[in-house]
């Protein structure tokens, strides 16, 4: 009779959505959890050398890698505002998704080794405006020792102007790089595609949380099952374990939802920024065309102003 009552209680405790009880022994669950703790996320060490062969044109992997790199940097402790500032600087000057991801990955790795330092977004924006790219840019990120304070309005304006001027130059650089890659492919030459390696590394990092969650749930389910199999199960302990399971599911779901929401907000913000910049460029183009038309009109009239 007691066994029937306990079974009923157990069914009630598991009324919330859950997966079936695992059959593996506790030792395996502990081993799985330990494996995650020991292995951790794989280190993402930026290549020490850049070459034309390594500079792969933007493809779908680079576009996918950028939000993964953004999430990894966020988890290393960098504030959302600083990440946005770095992304905006890269976007304003026209850096590719792959090159932007490299910047975020470098800062994330540096944070894991020496701890977070404030001012990442401002620092990167300034470096990009000054023309740093590739390995030289990553080296500067790695070498930073001090926190970067707020810039004055005058400094911010100078950086904005440099970014605007640098955009055309950056797009020309990317165009030449694409042409060189196309030529190398036509010649049948093989070269490394750094973006693919980066994508796989970051994807592996994102799996670490999933593995940790599964190991934790497996352990809690085994605790529940072991208690139920006793002659006199502790009802309070069963309830406590069930609450732990609910908390773990909620924590895991919140982490995923938070990452998705932040990514969506970032995309909306960047899209608004792009639209604003395109509108500004369109107005500038119209202004130049009007000035050109005025000059032509003045030239036709001649010095005396006659038609």
Output the pTM of the full model.
0.46
Mean residue pLDDT across the chain: 72
Cα-Cα-Cα-Cα dihedral of 75, 78, 82, 88, to 10°?
-40
Residue 135 has which token pair? Answer: 């390995």
Cβ atoms of residues 270 and 242 within 8 Å: no
Confidence category of residue 250, pLDDT binned at 50, 70, 90: confident
Do 214 and 166 share a structural domain?
no
The values of phi and psi at residue 148, to 5°, are: -105, 120
8 A C-beta contact, residue 97 and residue 202: no
Structure-model confidence comparison of residues 113 and 272, the more confident one:
113
Short-list 88, 47, 141, CA closest to 267: 88
Torsion of Cα atoms, 116 then 122 then 128 then 131, to 10°: -110
Distance CA 5, CA 149 (A): 64
Identify the weakest region by mean pLDDT among 48-52, 151-155, 296-300: 48-52
Last residue of a domain, one of 165, 182, 205: 205
Residue 47 confidence (pLDDT) above 60 = no
Is the pLDDT at 82 greater than 80, yes or no? yes
* Tens of pLDDT, residues 188-229: 776 555 555 555 666 666 676 777 788 888 888 888 888 888
173 lies in some domain:
yes
Lowest-pLDDT range, 63-77, 144-158, 209-223, 255-269? 255-269
Under the banding of pLDDT at 50, 70 and 90, the label for residue 127 is: very high
| Residue in 95, 57, 69 with CA at minimum distance from that of residue 177 | 57
Residue 136 lies in a domain: yes
- Classify residue 16: in a domain, yes or no: no
Exposed, middle or buried: residue 16 (CB in 10 Å: 0-12, 13-18, 19+)?
exposed
Domain coverage including residue 84: 60-205
Last residue within a domain, chosen from 205, 233, 250: 205
**For helices 194-228 and 235-301, what crossing angle results, to 10°?**
160
Total domains present in the chain: 2
Residue showing tokens 């919330």: 16
């Amino acid at each position: 009779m007691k066994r029937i009552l306990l079974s009923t209680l157990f069914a009630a405790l598991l009324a919330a959505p859950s997966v079936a009880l695992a059959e593996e022994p506790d030792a395996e669950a502990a081993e799985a959890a330990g494996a995650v703790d020991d292995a951790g996320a794989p280190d993402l060490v930026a290549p020490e050398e850049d070459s034309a062969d390594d500079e792969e044109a933007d493809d779908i992997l680079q576009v996918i890698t950028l939000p993964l790199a953004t999430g990894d940097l966020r988890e290393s402790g960098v504030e959302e505002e600083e990440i946005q500032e770095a992304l905006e600087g890269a976007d304003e000057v026209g850096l590719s998704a792959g090159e932007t991801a490299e910047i975020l990955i470098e800062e994330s790795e540096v944070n894991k080794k020496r701890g977070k330092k404030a001012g990442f977004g401002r620092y990167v924006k300034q470096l990009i405006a000054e023309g740093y790219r590739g390995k030289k840019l990553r080296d500067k990120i790695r070498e930073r020792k001090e926190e970067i304070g707020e810039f004055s309005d005058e400094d911010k304006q100078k950086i904005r102007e440099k970014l605007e001027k640098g955009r055309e130059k950056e797009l020309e650089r990317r165009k030449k790089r694409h042409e060189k890659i196309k030529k190398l492919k036509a010649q049948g030459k093989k070269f490394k595609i750094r973006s693919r390696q980066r994508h796989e590394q970051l994807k592996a990092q994102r799996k670490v949380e999933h593995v940790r969650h599964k190991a934790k749930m497996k352990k809690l389910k085994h605790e529940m099952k072991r208690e139920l199999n006793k002659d006199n199960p502790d009802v309070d302990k069963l309830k406590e374990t069930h609450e732990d399971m609910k908390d773990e599911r909620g924590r895991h779901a919140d982490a995923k939802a938070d990452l998705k929401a932040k990514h969506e907000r970032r995309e909306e913000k960047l899209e608004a920024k792009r639209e604003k910049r395109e509108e500004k460029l369109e107005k500038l183009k119209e202004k130049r065309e009007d000035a050109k038309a005025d000059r032509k009109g003045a030239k036709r009239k001649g010095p005396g102003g006659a038609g």
